[in-house]
Structure 1
Amino acid sequence: MKFAIFATKTKQHLGVVQGDKVISLTLLDEKKFPPCLKTFIENNKNLRLQAEQKIKQKENESAVFSLAEVNILPPISQPEKIICVGLNYTDHCKETGMEPPKSPVIFSKYANAIIGEKDSIEIPINSSEVDFEAELVVVIGKKAKCVTEEEANNYVFGYTIMNDISARDQQFADGQWSRGKTADTFAPIGPVIVTCDEVDNPHELSISLKLNDEIMQNSNTNNLIFTVPQIISFLSQSMTLKPGDLIATGTPPGVGMGRNPKVWLKDGDNISIKIEKIGTLTNSVCNLQTLK
C-alpha cells in the first residue's frame, strides 16, 4: 500500500494512493484513522488489515479524491528521529575526496527541516553553497533495540524518498555537519510511504535526480555500501529505534559539490527525485531573501 497525508480545503486526511486517486481512510472511519501516519504505524498490527478492508468496501465514494485536487503533505512531520547515513555509495565517496568508511557515518536532521511534495526549499540568508542529495529512506515500523541483521527487515514499515539538502559552506566550515544539514526546509520527504511488501528488494531500486530537467544523479541502490539490515542493526546497538523514525540511507554520485564547475541550488530551480516502486518527489527552490 502507498500511504499519504493530504489536505483538502477543509480537512487533513490519512489516505491510500491508488494510481491517480487517493482514498481517505479518515473519511471512511475518522475514529480509527486520524490524519496521522505516525499514529497508524505505531498501531500498524491492528490497523493495517482494517485499512485494507475499508479500501475494498469503499462505502463512501466522497472519500475518493483525484491527486491533482489535493495538497500532499509530508507523510511524517514529527518523527522522533531523522537519522542519516553519509558516504554510503563508493562513487559518492570518490567525488567528495573521502575514503569509503569502515562503518556507517551517522548524522541527524531535525523536524524543522521537513517539508513535503511541491513545497519550496529555502536557501538560507547565510549560505551560498546549497546542494541536493537523492536518498532512499527507511521508515521504522516497530521498536527496535539490539536487533541482528537477520532480524532487521522485520522492523521496517516501508520506504519513502528524501532530498538531503546540504549547505556545504556551513557543513565543512563547522567541522561537523549539523548546521549545514538541518536548516529549515532541508529535508523534503514523500510524497508517499510505500509498505515493505511492495518493495521486494530495497537494494535493487533505480534512483535518480533531475535539476531543471537535467539528470544529475542516476544510480541504483544495489551500489549501497551498507545495506538496510546492516544500518538498522548498527543503529539499534546504540539507540532504540521507534515507529515512524526515518533513516536516510545515503546519496549516489552526481551531487553539486562533486562537479566541475560546482553546481549550487539557486532561486527558481526545480528538483525531482525518482525512486523505483516508490514514486517521485518534486520541490522548487527559492531564495529566503526573496520571500521577505
Structure 2
Amino acid sequence: MRVASFILPEGTASYGVVEGDTIRDAGAGLRAKYPHLKAVIAADAIGELRSADGETLTADSVSFIPTIQNPDKIICIGLNYLGHIKETGRDRPEYPSIFTRYPSTVVGHDQPMIRPKASDKFDYEGEFAVVIGKRGRAIAKDKAFDHVAGYTGFNDGSIRDYQRHTTQFWGGKNFDRSGSMGPWIVTPDELGDVDSQTLVTRLNGEVMQETSIGDLAFKVPDLIAYVSTITELLPGDIIATGTPSGVGFFRDPKVFMKAGDRIEVEISGIGTLRNTIADE
C-alpha cells in the first residue's frame, strides 16, 4: 500500500491511499480518531486505511506535504554508500555518522526547495528513508524490520559551505525548506527486499546519482539497532539512510542547484520525489 499526506483543495490537511494517479482521502473518515498519519502509524492502524471511506481525488488536485508532517525526529546518516565514501577520499567508518534535521527543513513532493540567500552552494542528496512504525530501544538487528512502517524518498538538500564551517554537519543541513520527503510511504509488504531496490537522482533530467540500495555500508537493520541504542525510536521517526556517489560538490566542475532547476529522486518500488528550486 502507498499512503500519502496532503492538503485538500479546500485547505484541510489529510492523508490517504495512493491508487495509480488518484488518492482516496482516507482521512475523511478517520481524522476524528487519527488526526494525522503519524497517529495512524502509532496506533498500528495502517490496515484501516484500506477500507476507509473517502472521496477519490486526482493526485494533481492536492498539495503534498512531507509524508510524516510532524516526526519526533529526523535522523540522517552521512557517508553510508560505499561509492560515496570512496569519492570523498575517506575510509569506511567504523560506526554510522549521524546528524539530525528539523521538520521545518523539509517540504513535500512537488513543493519548492529553497536556496537560501546566505549561499549559492546548494547541493542535492537523493536518499532512501525508513519510517519507524513501532517504538523501541536497543532493538536487535534481527528484530529491526518489525519496527518499520514503510519507506519513502528523501532529498537531504545541503548548503555545502555552511556544512563545512565546522566538523559538525548541522549548519549545512538545517536551512528552512532546504530538503524534501515523499512522495508517499510504501509499506514493507509492497516494497519487498530493500537491498534489491535502486536509487536514481536527476537534475533537470540528467542522471547525477544511480546506485543499488544494496551498496549501503550500514544497512537498515544496522542503523535501527545502532540508533535505537542511543535514543528510543518512536512511531513516525525518519531515518534517512545516506546518499550515494555523484553529489554536486565532488564533481569537476562542481554542480549546485539554482532557481528554476528540477530535482528528482526516483526509488524503485516507491516512486519519484520531485521538487523545483526557488530562491529565498
The CA deviation string for residues 117-171 of structure 1, in whole angstroms up to 9 with x for no partner, is 1111111111121110000000000111011100111000000011001111111
Q: Within 5 A, what are the aligned runs for 1:5-24?
A: 5-10=5-10, 11-24=12-25
Q: Within 5 A, what are the aligned runs for 1:50-89?
A: 50-54=48-52, 58=53, 63-89=55-81
Cα deviation, residue 189, structure 1:
0.3
Number of positions where the alignment pairs a residue of Structure 1 with one of Structure 2: 279
- 2:107 partner letter: I
SS of residue in 2 equivalent to 1:39: helix
The CA deviation string for residues 36-65 of structure 1, in whole angstroms up to 9 with x for no partner, is 111111111xx23332233xxx5x5xx111
Between the aligned partners of 1:279 and 1:74, the Cα distance in structure 2 is 15
CA contact (8 A) 1:25 1:33 kept: no
Between the aligned partners of 2:100 and 2:20, the Cα distance in structure 1 is 33
Specify the alignment match of 2:94 in structure 1: 102
CA contact (8 A) 2:107 2:177 kept: yes
Cα deviation, residue 112, structure 1:
1.3
**CA RMSD of superposed structures (Å):** 1.3
CA contact (8 A) 1:203 1:221 kept: yes
Q: 1:137 aligns with which of 129, 134, 141?
A: 129
Between the aligned partners of 1:153 and 1:259, the Cα distance in structure 2 is 35
Specify the alignment match of 1:170 in structure 2: 162
CA contact (8 A) 1:152 1:232 kept: yes
Normalising by structure 2, we get a TM-score of 0.96
Structure 1 or 2, whichever has the larger Rg, is 1
Between the aligned partners of 1:53 and 1:118, the Cα distance in structure 2 is 27
Specify the alignment match of 2:264 in structure 1: 272
SS of residue in 1 equivalent to 2:51: helix
Does 1:185 find its partner at 2:186? no
Cα deviation, residue 33, structure 1:
4.3
Q: 1:205 aligns with which of 197, 201, 212?
A: 197
- 1:12 partner letter: A
SS of residue in 2 equivalent to 1:151: helix
SS of residue in 1 equivalent to 2:164: helix
SS of residue in 2 equivalent to 1:74: coil
- 2:115 partner letter: I
Between the aligned partners of 1:26 and 1:236, the Cα distance in structure 2 is 30
Cα deviation, residue 237, structure 1:
0.9
- 2:48 partner letter: Q
Specify the alignment match of 1:40 in structure 2: 40
Between the aligned partners of 2:63 and 2:8, the Cα distance in structure 1 is 7
SS of residue in 2 equivalent to 1:75: coil
Listed as ranges, the gaps of 5+ residues in structure 2 are none
The CA deviation string for residues 216-237 of structure 1, in whole angstroms up to 9 with x for no partner, is 0011101111110010001111
- Report % sequence identity: 38
Normalising by structure 1, we get a TM-score of 0.92
Between the aligned partners of 1:110 and 1:39, the Cα distance in structure 2 is 19
Between the aligned partners of 2:178 and 2:30, the Cα distance in structure 1 is 34
1:121–1:49 Cα change, 3 Å: closer
Cα deviation, residue 32, structure 1:
3.3
Between the aligned partners of 1:9 and 1:257, the Cα distance in structure 2 is 39
CA contact (8 A) 1:96 1:257 kept: no
Between the aligned partners of 1:207 and 1:200, the Cα distance in structure 2 is 15
